[in-house]
Amino acid sequence: MLERVEAMTTEALMADIGQRARAAGRILATAPGEVKDRALRAMAAAVREAAPEILDGNARDVDAMKANGQTAAFLDRGTLTEERIEAIAAALEDIVALKDPVGDVIAAWERPNGLKIERVRTPLGVIGVIYESRPNVTADAGALCLKAGNAVVLRGGSDTIHSNRAIHASLQKGLAVAGLPEDAIQIVPVTDRAAVGEMLKGLNGNLDVIVPRGGRSLVERVQTEARVPVFAHLEGLVHIFVDKSADLDKAVAIVKNSKLRRTGICGALETLLVHKDIAGSHLPAILDALNQEGCEIRGDDGIRAFGPGILEATEEDWSTEYLDKILSAMIVPDLDTAIAHIAKYGSNHTDCIITEDQAAADRFQAEVDSAIVLHNASTQFADGGEFGMGAEIGIATGRMHARGPVGVEQLTSFKYKVHGTGQTRP
């Protein structure tokens, strides 16, 4: 492949990748579940066996990252270890354990004329994944797409190109073991931005959806420029509203867990809204729990009355996803104001109400237009694994096709099978 590449323009190369992916997708679409699972198990074995080569490739990447002066966090995301390679192999085996969604009968009914109609899951086709820094995405995304019968075109960041190539070689070995086409999982062999541009244009109709995995600027570029559907979220500006009927203990535990269990994930709490009627009874304990963990609070005047150390929140704070030990907080007069605040500043990702009043919970969950709306539970449950979907390729906040965690079922489409006995239409 690499020799071929050098003689081709990026445009021609990407067109070729698209055609190969479409052809492979047609074969995958009817591949039996046990064949796909055989490939996945062989991939896991190949990853374990190739651990030295993967570590070698990764060492080259890490050296280059260091030379480029990347941050410690970036280096951490890009670095592989024996343990992390074992985790990649184990994740491939976890995907084996998922149910094959292809062929699932989603709905079935019979018409008065005797026609039996079934709505049956089919693969989506060809999925493009554009990602940064984390080499494990090569295996995770490749395997999830395969499980759902889709071909995939992977375009990882240049920072981890050698790690990605080494992992990809193991995936190809797995495909070969199962007799599946090697073009089922392709990796873009060049690192120029023009290759991404070709993917955003849809590879001449040979790319059905794009999943960006990475920082805000990557997601923003993909959402703005893509001519094909995108499964993504730009940010998780997650709110909790502590209602006037909130249970104090639940409020303290849920707010603390939502903000601090892990601050860097998209389901982490960013803005706390507190009903004025229980600010006096509930806020001190909530603030105390956050303070103990060193969380900075930026509040409106109402919040600042509860502590001398609370910074003043600016307008910008209400639309900032900190992904850090910082929380913006506000006192609100009622449920309507909380819902309106979330409509104005939220990101349609995940929001939560804490209340013992079922009517308030019902209204909040109906009116807040987010992919995930929780009642009395931590926002950190916003995750495909926690939802019981198995692995996820990301979380989507759009309203089309996939919303919330994008697991193997969300990577499928469907068709109607109509079973007749000679019926004609009057």
Q: How far is the CB of 422 from a second copy (least distance, A)?
A: 4
Q: Does 99 bind a second copy (CB under 8 A)?
A: no
Q: Does 419 bind a second copy (CB under 8 A)?
A: yes
Contact with a second copy (CB under 8 A): which of 117, 177, 218, 234?
A: 117
Contact with a second copy (CB under 8 A): which of 48, 182, 307, 414?
A: 414
Contact with a second copy (CB under 8 A): which of 99, 111, 193, 216?
A: 111
CA torsion through residues 274, 278, 284, 289, sign: negative
- By beta-carbon proximity to a second copy, the closer residue of 12 and 366 is 366
Interface mask toward a second copy for 44-63; x: CB under 8 A: --------------------
Q: How far is the CB of 251 from a second copy (least distance, A)?
A: 9
Spatial separation of the C-alpha atoms in residues 317 and 326, rounded to whole Å: 10
Q: How far is the CB of 330 from a second copy (least distance, A)?
A: 21
Give Cβ neighbours of residue 296 (< 8 Å, ≥ 6 apart): 311, 325, 326, 327
- By beta-carbon proximity to a second copy, the closer residue of 150 and 160 is 150
Q: How far is the CB of 152 from a second copy (least distance, A)?
A: 15
Q: Does 421 bind a second copy (CB under 8 A)?
A: yes
Q: Does 229 bind a second copy (CB under 8 A)?
A: yes
- By beta-carbon proximity to a second copy, the closer residue of 149 and 157 is 149
**Which among 185, 193, 180 has a CA at the least distance from the CA of 167?**
185
Spatial separation of the C-alpha atoms in residues 207 and 229, rounded to whole Å: 9
- By beta-carbon proximity to a second copy, the closer residue of 284 and 385 is 385
Q: What's the longest Cα–Cα distance across the chain?
A: 80
Contact with a second copy (CB under 8 A): which of 41, 261, 325, 341?
A: 261
Spatial separation of the C-alpha atoms in residues 130 and 211, rounded to whole Å: 6
Taking a C-beta distance cutoff of 8 angstroms, is the pair 267, 383 a contact?
Answer: yes
Contact with a second copy (CB under 8 A): which of 308, 315, 316, 415?
A: 415
Q: Does 208 bind a second copy (CB under 8 A)?
A: yes
Helix (H) or strand (E) holding 200: helix 193-201
Q: How far is the CB of 66 from a second copy (least distance, A)?
A: 34
C-alpha to C-alpha distances, 218 to 120, 199, 336, 372, nearest whole angstrom: 34, 13, 35, 23
Q: Does 73 bind a second copy (CB under 8 A)?
A: no
Q: Select the span of 166-174, 179-187, 251-259, 296-304 touching a second copy (CB under 8 A).
A: 251-259
Q: Which two tokens stand for residue 180?
A: 């599946």
Spatial separation of the C-alpha atoms in residues 210 and 202, rounded to whole Å: 9
Contact with a second copy (CB under 8 A): which of 213, 338, 403, 408?
A: 403
Q: Select the span of 59-67, 72-80, 321-329, 410-418 touching a second copy (CB under 8 A).
A: 410-418
Q: Does 366 bind a second copy (CB under 8 A)?
A: yes
Q: Does 416 bind a second copy (CB under 8 A)?
A: yes
Q: Select the span of 7-15, 110-118, 156-164, 191-199 touching a second copy (CB under 8 A).
A: 110-118
Which amino acid is located at 182 in the chain?
E
Q: Does 341 bind a second copy (CB under 8 A)?
A: no
Q: Does 396 bind a second copy (CB under 8 A)?
A: no
Taking a C-beta distance cutoff of 8 angstroms, is the pair 184, 24 a contact?
Answer: yes
Q: Is 177 left (phi over 0), alpha (psi -120 to 50) or beta?
A: alpha
Spatial separation of the C-alpha atoms in residues 334 and 331, rounded to whole Å: 9
Residues numbered 5-44 forming contacts with a second copy, rule: CB under 8 A: 26, 29-30
Q: On the CB side of 385, how many CA atoms lie within 13 Å of its CA?
A: 7
Q: Does 404 bind a second copy (CB under 8 A)?
A: yes
What are the φ and ψ backbone dihedral angles of 268, each rounded to 5 degrees? -75, 140
**Which among 394, 410, 409 has a CA at the least distance from the CA of 100?**
409
Dihedral angle of Cα 106, 111, 116, 120, to the nearest 10 degrees: -20
- For Cα atoms 75, 81, 85, give the angle at the middle one, nearest 5 degrees: 115
DSSP annotation of 314 reads P
Contact with a second copy (CB under 8 A): which of 378, 393, 406, 408?
A: 378
Q: Does 371 bind a second copy (CB under 8 A)?
A: yes
Q: Where do contacts with a second copy occur on this chain (CB under 8 A)?
A: 26, 29-30, 103, 109, 111, 115, 117, 122, 124-125, 208-209, 227, 229, 247, 249-250, 253-254, 256-258, 261, 343, 361, 365-367, 369-378, 380-381, 386-388, 399-401, 403-404, 413-425
